[in-house]
Amino acid sequence: MSSSYEPFRSRSQGTEDIKEDSEKLIEPEPQRETTSLTLPRLQSPSSGRAKHAKHARVGLRVVALAIAVTVLGIQVHSAQIWLSTRDRVVFNRTTKLDTHSWAVIDMWPTWTMIAAAGLATSIQLSALTSHLCICLVDRHGSRQHAVSVYVTSAILIAFWIAAMFYFKLANYQGKKKSMWDIWTWSCHQQDVAGDIPWKALCIQQQYTWFASIVVAVTEVVVLILFIYNRRDMRGARSTQGKFSLIPNLGA
């Protein structure tokens, strides 16, 4: 049985339906759930090799620094002994005369090795500082850093090898000339007893020669590793896209 109020009831119900529809339109659409994929970071083989080469370079620099410091200390000590005893006179039992403990000594080989060891020590300290200081590590990939490494390494290697061969040449020619060097004279006098430690000086000069060879080889290897490291860094940069996932996976 119809009532006179039914039209009003139907109208109010229709209004409620329209209101619900409008609220549905206004209500923002829920965001789609996206599954974030945590993928492992891939590292190129070139960057891995470059990292190992860098660590090897730092280790070799520590070795070269330690040896250069010992060479510097030995040569400074030898020069100090010569400076403090060069005017000393002793009685020669063979000739029955007072003679000088030292012959006329050519000190240039000693001064040259001191200069080379001092240069090597300063360069190695500066290179190791650049690896330890965070403010300088970021510059390792720059062109200026590469140029500075090439220049300092070339100067150090050339100077060190020249000083090393001059040191050996002076020893080889010691008995053929009127001026001796510390190495030749100390080994010549190593069996003579006295206040001057001739035998210790002779051994120290021999150590300097063999240590200088090790430093020269180490410096060359460090430079080769640096060139290798730079090449691998460039290779890693050029192939970086091959080892990184394409962004916007959902596109």
**pLDDT tens per residue across all 251 residues of the chain:** 555 555 545 555 555 555 555 555 555 555 554 444 444 444 455 555 656 767 788 899 999 999 999 999 999 999 999 999 999 888 777 777 778 889 989 999 999 999 999 999 999 998 888 777 655 555 555 678 788 889 999 999 999 999 999 999 999 887 676 679 999 999 999 998 888 999 999 999 999 999 999 999 999 999 998 888 777 665 555 554 444 434 444 43
> What residues contact residue 177 under an 8 Å CB cut-off, 6+ apart?
none
Can you tell me the distance from the alpha carbon of 126 to that of 229, in angstroms, rounded to the nearest whole number? 19
Q: For residue 227, what pLDDT is reported? A: 87
Query: Which pLDDT value is given to residue 11?
Result: 52
- Please give the helix or strand (H or E) that residue 138 lies within, else none: none
Does residue 194 come out as left (phi exceeding 0), alpha (psi in the -120 to 50 range) or beta? left
Cα angle, residue 187 at apex, residues 192 and 92 outer, rounded to 5°: 30
CA distance 107 to 121: 21
- Given a contact cutoff of 8 angstroms between Cβ atoms, the answer to whether 74 and 210 are in contact is no
User: pTM of the predicted model, to two decimals?
Assistant: 0.70
> Cα–Cα distance between 237 and 251 in angstroms, integer?
26
Beta-bridge mates of residue 99 = 90
Q: Are the beta carbons of 209 and 70 closer than 8 angstroms?
A: no
The pLDDT score that the predictor gives to residue 39 is 42
What pLDDT sits at residue 6? 52
pLDDT score at 130: 79
CB atoms closer than 10 angstroms to residue 177:
12
Would you state the pLDDT for residue 12? 53
Per-residue DSSP letter, 139:
G
Question: What pLDDT, on the 0 to 100 scale, is given for residue 158?
Answer: 96
Q: Do 179 and 164 form a contact (C-beta atoms < 8 A)?
A: no
Residues 6+ apart with CB under 8 A from 161: 216
Q: How far is the C-alpha of 172 from the C-alpha of 169, rounded, in Å?
A: 5
Strands (E), 110-238: none
Residues linked to residue 67 through DSSP beta bridges, in sequence order? none
Question: What is d(CA 164, CA 219) in angstroms, rounded to the nearest whole number?
Answer: 13
- Residue 31 is given by DSSP the state P
Cα 17 to Cα 10, 14, 26, 239: the distances in Å are: 11, 5, 14, 61
Q: Using DSSP, state whether 92 is helix, strand or coil.
A: strand
What Rg do the C-alpha atoms of the chain give, in angstroms? Answer: 39
